[in-house]
Amino acid sequence: MNESTPPLITVKCMVVCRDARGILSLFPVRVQCTQHEVDEGGHRTEAREAAEMRGYHAIGDVFDQDNPTGRLILDKFDWAATDVA
């Protein structure tokens, strides 16, 4: 049997974090993952790691496009200018 790789989807996420000066920030990132990874919450881990790699300290929730709060926040950003993790 030939198993295919599951398709990747892009999930918009917003990480609650602090910047290098300790100021509360939101870090927007697009995470590419499988639907299974989304179902298991792996996209949130990837989003936190992307923020940490950019010098932020993730301190709170990760909001995504499937979260009511996330939907309110995510529409405010220029997603073409964000990182992809």
Q: What does 45-80 look like in DSSP terms, one character per residue? A: HHHHHHHHHTT-EEEEEEEETTSHHHHHHHTTS-GG
Write down the domain spans for the chain.
9-84
Condensed to tens digits (0 to 9), the pLDDT of residues 2-18 reads 468 889 999 999 999 99
41 three-class SS: coil
Q: Which of 1, 84, 22, 5 is nearest to 50 (CA)?
A: 84
Of 60 and 30, which is predicted with more confidence? 30
Condensed to tens digits (0 to 9), the pLDDT of residues 23-32 reads 999 999 999 9
What is the maximal distance between C-alpha atoms in the chain?
A: 54
Are 18 and 57 in contact by the 8 Å Cβ rule? The answer is: yes
pTM: 0.82
Distance in angstroms (rounded) separating the CA atoms of residues 50 and 13 = 11
